[in-house]
Amino acid sequence: MLGQAEYIWLDGEQPTQQLRSKTRILPLPDNRAVDLSMLPEWSFDGSSTYQAAGDDSDLTLTPVAVTPDPIRGKGNVLVLCEVTTGDGTPHSSNTRAQLRRVLDAGAGSEEAWVGFEQEYTLFRDERPLGFPERGFPAPQGPFYCGVGVDRVYGREFVETHTMACIEAGLMIYGTNAEVMPGQWEFQIGYRGIEDESADPINASDHLILARWLLRRLGEQFGLDPRFDPKPARGDWNGAGAHTNFSTRSMREPGSGIHAIRRAMHRLGATHDTHIACYGHGLEHRLTGQHETCEIGQFRGGVADRSASIRIPRHVERRGGGYFEDRRPGANCDPYLVCTALLTTIRAHESAVDGLAKAG
Ligand code: ADP
Ligand code: MN
Ligand code: MN
Ligand code: MN
């Protein structure tokens, strides 16, 4: 049977890479049975995606993950791709390959699990959904996890996106209406279901595919989902991508909390490195207001939503689990966020190992 394979990749736009995709018609079996070996590499014009000069424009899409396509339905697939150059090496915009290198160089042994809380804002006619043509909606307060036509905007769209993620087999964990009208969140990654892997690559891949579905379904609803970290200036919440993170040693009940505290200490020392790769325009969101810590400061805390890193109350009580990095912006690159977290935490762990050996 012939089916449609949607090849999806991240382009080279600066300061924030954007999603691109194009469609290939291929002989495909029933979509659950499609594997990567059935999906050929495919070239594209890198000079039209800020990834190459016009006189040397051929780049390659290398399929790295495949899921059923919930929009076109049975027999069709979504194909996430890495961008490679003519000789097969990763293109400079290919941050997924960087994360792979860090994992292959040893970080894979941490057995990290990741869960992202992706916030976004629905725009229509250049304003957030629920914002009147002139002036502003009522002050924030009633909207977060609200219900009812006077406080919730875009629910049908959100329901459609959630169902699409489930049908595509993505690890979507939950959704909620956010603090600002027209703002929503979905969580994706670790959800404690057997046989699923929320390793950094897989969780990040799922986030990218879920973002693509958001943008694609927005076309059908006439809605423009944006990942701007501060879509409305003033007394309105920004949009982030809280990153929940654990290693095997952090998850150990009783002793895990010590691994988490050691990691927090190290994260304090590398704060600026993380801020530099957590998304463009972060200074407008990390102001010290609206449940954030000011961008120039680093603070860790239990159950503290004005901290940079929060240890959930239940994690402290159990003596292990995960921490939440509250700094990444909604427009962050999940591969870069995971690379930064693993690098910081590994540097610390190896230093501790070194001390232990020296002692
Ligand atoms: P919040 O209270 O910050 O709004 P949410 O309920 O929105 O939290 O999201 C919780 C997140 O924690 C989810 O993304 C989930 O995947 C993640 N998570 C839970 N347990 C772990 C774990 N052990 N390791 C990594 N992430 C985890
Ligand atoms: Mn949340
Ligand atoms: Mn949130
Ligand atoms: Mn959170």
Domain extent listing, the chain: 2-93, 103-358
Beta-bridge partners for 60: 43, 84
Atom of ligand 1 nearest to the CA of 189: 16
285 lines ligand 1 (CB under 6 A): no
Phi–psi pair at 190, nearest 5 degrees: -60, 130
**Residue located nearest, by CA, to atom 1 of ligand 1:** 117
Residue 341's pLDDT is what?
A: 98
Residue 130's pLDDT is what?
A: 94
Residue 73: partners with Cβ closer than 8 Å, 6 or more residues away: none
Atom of ligand 1 nearest to the CA of 191: 16
Q: The whole model's pTM is what? A: 0.96
Neighbours of ion ligand 2 (CB under 5 A): 117
Q: Which long-range contacts (CB under 8 A, 24 or more apart) does 21-28 make?
A: 21/212, 26/2, 27/1, 27/2, 27/3, 28/1, 28/2, 28/3, 28/75, 28/76, 28/77
Q: How far is the CA of 338 from the centre of ligand 2 (A)?
A: 18
**Residue located nearest, by CA, to atom 15 of ligand 1:** 115
Residue 116: partners with Cβ closer than 8 Å, 6 or more residues away: 187, 188, 189, 203, 204, 207, 241, 242, 243, 244, 334
pLDDT tens for each residue of 135-186: 899 999 899 999 999 999 999 999 999 999 999 999 999 999 999 999 999 9
Torsion of CA 178, 180, 146, 330, to 10 degrees: -10
Angle at which helices 256-269 and 334-358 pack, to 10 degrees?
Answer: 110
199 lines ligand 1 (CB under 6 A): no
Residue 21: partners with Cβ closer than 8 Å, 6 or more residues away: 6, 7, 8, 9, 212
Residue 326's pLDDT is what?
A: 98
* Amino acid at position 232, single letter: A
Query: Same fold for the domain at 2-93 and the one at 103-358?
Result: no
pLDDT tens for each residue of 203-228: 999 999 999 999 999 999 999 999 99
Given a contact cutoff of 8 angstroms between Cβ atoms, the answer to whether 153 and 137 are in contact is no
* Amino acid at position 212, single letter: W
**Residue located nearest, by CA, to atom 8 of ligand 1:** 117
In this prediction, the residues of the chain whose per-residue pLDDT falls under 70 are 31, 348-359
Phi–psi pair at 31, nearest 5 degrees: -60, -25
Task: Select 2-93's CATH number: 3.10.290.10, 3.40.50.1820, 3.40.640.10, 3.10.20.70.
Answer: 3.10.20.70
Angle at which helices 200-221 and 155-167 pack, to 10 degrees?
Answer: 140
**From CA 155, how far away is CA 176, in angstroms rounded?**
10
Residue 357's pLDDT is what?
A: 47
**Residue located nearest, by CA, to atom 2 of ligand 1:** 312
Q: Which CATH superfamily is domain 103-358 in?
A: Glutamine synthetase/guanido kinase, catalytic domain (3.30.590.10)
Residue 31's pLDDT is what?
A: 65
